[in-house]
């Protein structure tokens, strides 16, 4: 497939296209299905893989996360969520979602609910509820240096709403903008919150208030994670049982991946049934380090 054939697939946000595209003006590369605004064609470069794009100096989009190699259903549902978020100012029908995903509305609803534990309509309602709390709610954020590298913490008047780690502050800032589209972001003093994050890294404990937002099922999973004692882990199956939804194992794993408050909501304490680490939004090296630290605290 040549570049002339690839460009229409980007315009169509084709989910099945097996390549990535990069934008010279931003230095970012994306999946063709990324819901972000389409770039000018003269600024676009195409690559067969994420590795090729990064070797050429481009960094992965924080919105569509083109580096991740997810199972087909997980990737489908993530694309659907991004589509709903990009069109959160209106009601998106199942028929429209089915056309976007090239599948029947019935099958789409079943796959979506199995992955997230909520229907597309409930997900849209959660988006509207979040956006209607206040128009452009103020969120203070700042950067700090942690034992895990560069960190970011953001908080509303209710409490910490985002914690992340990354290679540099610009990547972290871009992540925050994409994660909190409803927020009026103000960079400022966050030393007290940062100190609590570092305390959580060192001891597994913290007392800082949190502003937790998500679907009902996501919040149940996150509360279950917070109930796991320091130094212990639970399987995704056990997490699903803790939410009284024992069949929602995959949805419990997806909820862990949707957590935007690293360390303070300890999704690093979730592991696969076979003992493997599973995934981790901030990288498996950070997950290993957190588990290692908690184990040493309890030994």
Over the stretch 104-124, which tens digit does the pLDDT of each residue have? 888 888 888 888 888 899 888
Q: What pLDDT is recorded for position 132?
A: 60
For the segment 142-163, the average pLDDT, to the nearest whole number, is: 95
Contact between 123 and 172 (Cβ < 8 Å):
no
Q: What percent of the chain has pLDDT over 70?
A: 96
Q: What pLDDT is recorded for position 69?
A: 61
Which residues belong to CATH 1.10.10.60 in the chain?
72-132
Which residues belong to CATH 1.10.10.10 in the chain?
216-298
For the segment 69-78, the average pLDDT, to the nearest whole number, is: 71
Q: How many residues does the chain have?
A: 299
pTM of the predicted structure, to 2 decimals: 0.63
Using a 10 angstrom Cβ sphere, with 0-12 exposed, 13-18 middle and 19 or more buried, the burial of residue 11 is exposed
Which residues belong to CATH 3.30.160.70 in the chain?
137-203
Using a 10 angstrom Cβ sphere, with 0-12 exposed, 13-18 middle and 19 or more buried, the burial of residue 102 is exposed
- pLDDT bracket for residue 146 (50, 70, 90): very high
- Residues annotated as catalytic are 30, 267
H helix or E strand, kind and range, residue 59: strand 59-60
| Sheet with 160-166: strands ordered across | 160-166, 149-155, 137-146, 183-187
Instruction: Tell me: pLDDT of 71 over 60.
Output: no
For the segment 5-26, the average pLDDT, to the nearest whole number, is: 86
Which residues belong to CATH 3.40.10.10 in the chain?
3-60
Q: Give me the architecture of the 137-203 domain, per CATH.
A: 2-Layer Sandwich (3.30)
Give the highest mean pLDDT range of 62-66, 212-216, 237-241: 237-241
For the domain spanning 72-132, the CATH number is: 1.10.10.60
Q: What pLDDT is recorded for position 142?
A: 96
For the domain spanning 216-298, the CATH number is: 1.10.10.10
For the segment 281-285, the average pLDDT, to the nearest whole number, is: 87
For the segment 183-199, the average pLDDT, to the nearest whole number, is: 94
Q: What pLDDT is recorded for position 179?
A: 85
For the segment 27-47, the average pLDDT, to the nearest whole number, is: 88
Correct CATH for 3-60 of 3.30.930.10, 3.40.50.720, 3.40.10.10, 3.40.50.10190: 3.40.10.10
Instruction: Tell me: pLDDT of 5 over 70.
Output: yes
């Amino acid at each position: 497939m040549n570049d002339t054939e690839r460009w229409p697939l980007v315009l169509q946000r084709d989910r099945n296209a097996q390549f990535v595209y990069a934008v010279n003006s931003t230095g970012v590369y994306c999946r063709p299905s990324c819901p972000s605004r389409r770039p000018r064609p003269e600024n676009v470069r195409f690559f067969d893989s994420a590795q090729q794009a990064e070797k050429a100096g481009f960094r992965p989009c924080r919105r569509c996360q083109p580096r991740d190699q997810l199972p087909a259903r997980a990737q489908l549902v993530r694309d659907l969520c991004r589509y709903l978020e990009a069109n959160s100012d209106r009601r998106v029908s199942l028929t429209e979602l089915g056309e976007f995903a090239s599948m029947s509305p019935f099958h789409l609803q079943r796959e979506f609910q199995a992955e997230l534990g909520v229907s597309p309509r409930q997900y849209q309602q959660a988006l509207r509820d979040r956006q209607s709390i206040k128009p452009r709610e103020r969120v203070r954020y700042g950067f700090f240096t942690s034992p895990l590298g560069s960190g970011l913490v953001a908080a509303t008047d209710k409490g910490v709403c985002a914690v992340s780690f990354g290679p540099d502050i610009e990547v972290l800032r871009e992540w925050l903008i994409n994660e909190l589209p409803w927020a009026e972001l103000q960079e400022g003093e966050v030393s007290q919150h940062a100190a609590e994050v570092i305390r959580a890294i060192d001891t597994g404990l913290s007392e800082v208030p949190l502003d937790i937002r998500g679907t009902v099922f996501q919040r149940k999973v996150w509360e279950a994670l917070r109930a796991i004692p320091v130094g212990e882990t639970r399987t995704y199956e056990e997490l699903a049982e803790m939410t009284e939804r024992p069949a929602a194992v995959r949805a419990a794993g997806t909820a862990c991946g949707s957590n935007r408050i690293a360390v303070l909501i300890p999704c690093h304490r979730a592991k696969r049934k076979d003992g493997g680490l599973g995934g981790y939004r901030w990288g498996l090296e950070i997950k290993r380090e957190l588990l290692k630290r908690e184990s040493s605290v309890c030994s």
